[in-house]
């Protein structure tokens, strides 16, 4: 494990000295515990209780597993968890034993974490991307991200449901539904969608089913469910976090990232996830570029920062715009200098992005199955399509597999059409997109509404997103952080911070300052539906 990040936040030094105190409080006051008590708490609060001997990892893990039974498998029945790790309590006991021996690995030591079910784990859990074609198939070994988290002392307690094949199956899909896992419900309104594809990770963290979760994103799959579920999501720069062992869509855009109830928790988790992986060449580009994310958790992170307001991502919803306009005033109150602008050329890579995803999905899926699941009953895209056709009642009851079929029809990655599409994406999303607007206006970051509030789940018409700011950063491979910004009729919406490559530390500093100045997040109450006539907080 590359432990440089931990050294930078003072963890390794503390461990070598035999100290059990490995995490100081962030500069701003720690958040108050929610109605779920310690289960709604973050890393800092949980670590302080464990250091004081008032909590153990085994007890904390046991409480989360009990809450999963109460909230996820009964009660509101969120259906965010697709599988429980049968070794979770055993791992927690081992972390407690190490703590008793003064061998604390870092901020995540003994902290319960959920992984999205497209992240390989070389244990007794399956890795399926929600597909019945991989049901019961155990990965040959851990994904690099999973190995990093284990080395950091995290307790992987289970896997979360997702939009099947990370929402790259149908043009009329329903986010949060998979053949293996069924539908994940939104904790803020059970009849509404969680967005996707990291639906289960977003819903689980919102509902207090674990301290932290990992999502993955190709375009919007971390930031959209994070925004809609009222949590923090970080999509890192491509290359900061390894892609090895993650069931793919496309290597040119895929990345894992943290989802948490606070910016501080997401930052600590990101630090543990980063590192060079010999199996993933793109991580070499990120060597030495990870920032000091712990130091970024300070007051005053917005003072003097020039922030571009991406006005061409407003206008999809008047009530959403009103929330974000208030957020802009909050940014100014914290010393930010706002510049109205637009991200250029966003219409020039929509079609080419889809082309690239289709080409890479076909090639990358076959490569993953060969390396991580050689014993699986499917070996390539054609096999998956045939499996779905054979098991159409279970896999195709609501929508088809148009994207799988279109991907199968593509050639290899030497095809000129693929190379041209990829070059087009990088030109207009990077050099003549985010890079251009930030250079012209001398910006530190861009902000915009992450997306609209949650929509009613609709198995007839499929998803109907209310706008999204995800594509520029996703196609460019640049970092994107979403933070709770308020509510529209009780439904959470997020404010997005987007920056240049490897600017995570700066974005975390700004996002943290905004979060601490506003503290918008409220725990969900699991209503059956939204009362449109009443504002948030009214009885």
**pLDDT reported for residue 529:** 97
**pLDDT reported for residue 202:** 98
Residue 318 dihedral angles phi and psi, to the nearest 5°: -60, -40
Instruction: Decide if 249 contacts 361 (C-beta within 8 A).
Output: yes
List active site positions: 116, 197, 221
Q: How many other CB atoms sit within 10 Å of the CB of residue 288? A: 7
**pLDDT reported for residue 534:** 55
Q: How many other CB atoms sit within 10 Å of the CB of residue 478? A: 27
**pLDDT reported for residue 24:** 57
Instruction: Decide if 164 contacts 179 (C-beta within 8 A).
Output: yes
Q: How many other CB atoms sit within 10 Å of the CB of residue 101? A: 10
The C-alpha angle with vertex 283 and arms to 234 and 408, in degrees rounded to 5, equals 85
- Walk along the chain (539 residues) and give the pLDDT tens digit of each residue: 333 332 233 333 233 223 344 555 665 444 456 567 999 999 999 999 999 999 999 999 999 999 999 999 999 999 999 999 999 999 999 999 999 999 999 999 999 999 999 999 999 999 999 999 999 999 999 999 999 999 999 999 999 999 999 999 999 999 999 999 999 999 999 999 999 999 999 999 999 999 999 999 999 999 999 999 999 999 999 999 999 999 999 999 999 999 999 999 999 999 999 999 999 999 999 999 998 999 999 989 999 999 999 999 999 999 999 999 999 999 999 999 999 999 999 999 999 999 999 999 999 999 999 999 999 999 999 999 999 999 999 999 999 999 999 999 999 999 999 999 999 999 999 999 999 999 999 999 999 999 999 999 999 999 988 889 999 999 999 999 999 999 999 999 999 999 999 999 999 999 999 999 999 999 999 999 998 865 544 33
Distance of CA 75 to the CA centre of its chain: 25
**pLDDT reported for residue 299:** 86
Rg over alpha carbons for the chain, rounded to the nearest Å, is 21
Query: pLDDT by residue (tens digit) across 118-164?
Result: 999 999 999 999 999 999 999 999 999 999 999 999 999 999 999 99
Q: How far is it, in rounded angstroms, from Cα 269 to Cα 257?
A: 9
Instruction: Decide if 197 contacts 162 (C-beta within 8 A).
Output: yes
**pLDDT reported for residue 4:** 30
Reduce the DSSP state of residue 90 to 3 states and report it: helix
Q: What are the sequence ranges of the domains in the chain?
A: 37-518
Q: How many CA atoms lie within 13 A of 172 on its CB side?
A: 10
Pairing, β 255-260 against β 232-235: antiparallel
Q: How many CA atoms lie within 13 A of 122 on its CB side?
A: 14
Q: Beta partners for 95?
A: none
Question: Residue 448 is inside which H or E element, if any?
Answer: strand 445-449
**pLDDT reported for residue 539:** 30
**Among 428, 520, 506, residue whose Cα is nearest residue 234:** 506
**pLDDT reported for residue 5:** 31
**pLDDT reported for residue 33:** 60
Instruction: Decide if 20 contacts 51 (C-beta within 8 A).
Output: yes
- 17, with CB counted inside 10 A (0-12, 13-18, 19+), is exposed
> CATH homologous superfamily for 37-518?
Amidase signature (AS) domain (3.90.1300.10)
Q: Which residue is listed with tokens 């999973």?
A: 146
Residues written for the chain: 539
Instruction: Decide if 199 contacts 205 (C-beta within 8 A).
Output: no
Instruction: Decide if 497 contacts 515 (C-beta within 8 A).
Output: no
């Amino acid at each position: 494990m590359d432990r440089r990040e931990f050294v930078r936040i003072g963890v390794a030094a503390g461990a070598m000295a035999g100290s059990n105190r490995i995490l100081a409080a962030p500069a701003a006051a720690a958040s108050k515990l929610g109605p779920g008590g310690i289960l709604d708490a973050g890393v800092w609060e949980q670590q302080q209780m464990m250091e004081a001997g008032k909590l153990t990892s085994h007890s904390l893990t046991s409480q989360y597993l009990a809450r999963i039974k109460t909230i996820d498998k009964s009660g509101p029945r969120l259906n965010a968890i697709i599988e429980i790790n049968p070794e979770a309590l055993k791992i927690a006991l081992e972390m407690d034993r190490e703590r008793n021996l003064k061998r604390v690995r870092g901020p995540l030591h003994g902290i319960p974490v959920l992984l999205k079910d497209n992240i390989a784990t070389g244990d007794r859990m399956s890795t399926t991307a929600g597909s019945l074609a991989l049901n019961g198939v155990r990965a040959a070994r851990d994904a690099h991200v999973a190995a990093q988290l284990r080395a950091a002392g995290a307790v992987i307690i289970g896997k979360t449901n997702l939009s099947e094949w990370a929402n790259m199956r149908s043009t009329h899909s329903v986010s949060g539904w998979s053949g293996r896992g069924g539908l994940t419900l939104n904790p803020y309104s059970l009849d509404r969608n969680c967005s996707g594809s990291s639906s289960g990770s977003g819903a689980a963290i919102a509902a207090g089913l674990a301290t932290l979760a990992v999502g993955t994103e190709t375009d919007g799959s971390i930031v959209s469910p994070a925004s809609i579920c009222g949590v923090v999501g970080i999509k890192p720069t491509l290359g900061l976090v390894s892609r090895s062992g993650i069931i793919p869509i496309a290597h040119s855009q895929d990345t894992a990232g943290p989802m948490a109830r606070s910016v501080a928790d997401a930052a600590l988790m990101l630090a543990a996830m980063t590192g060079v992986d010999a199996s993933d060449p793109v991580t070499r580009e990120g060597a030495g570029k990870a920032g000091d994310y712990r130091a970024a958790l300070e007051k005053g992170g917005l003072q003097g920062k020039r922030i571009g307001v991406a006005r061409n991502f407003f206008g999809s919803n008047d009530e959403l715009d009103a929330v974000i306009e208030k957020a802009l005033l909050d940014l100014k109150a914290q010393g930010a200098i706002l510049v109205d602008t637009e991200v250029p050329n966003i219409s020039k890579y929509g079609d080419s992005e889809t082309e690239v995803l289709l080409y890479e999905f076909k090639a990358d899926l076959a490569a993953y199955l060969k390396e991580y699941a050689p014993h699986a009953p499917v070996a390539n895209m054609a096999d998956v399509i045939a499996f779905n056709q054979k098991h159409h009642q279970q896999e195709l009851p609501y929508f088809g597999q148009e994207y799988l079929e279109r991907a199968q029809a593509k050639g290899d990655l030497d095809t000129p059409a693929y190379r041209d599409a990829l070059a087009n994406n990088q030109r207009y999303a990077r050099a003549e997109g985010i890079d251009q607007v930030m250079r012209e206006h001398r910006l530190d970051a861009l902000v915009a509404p992450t997306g609209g509030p949650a929509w009613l789940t609709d198995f007839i018409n499929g998803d109907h997103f209310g706008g999204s700011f995800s594509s520029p950063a996703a196609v460019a491979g640049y970092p994107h952080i979403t933070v709770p910004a308020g509510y529209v009729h009780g439904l959470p919406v997020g404010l997005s911070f987007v920056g240049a490559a490897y600017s995570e530390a700066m974005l975390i500093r700004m996002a943290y300052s905004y979060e601490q100045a506003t503290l918008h997040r409220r725990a969900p109450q699991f209503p059956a539906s939204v009362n449109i006539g009443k504002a948030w907080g009214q009885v």
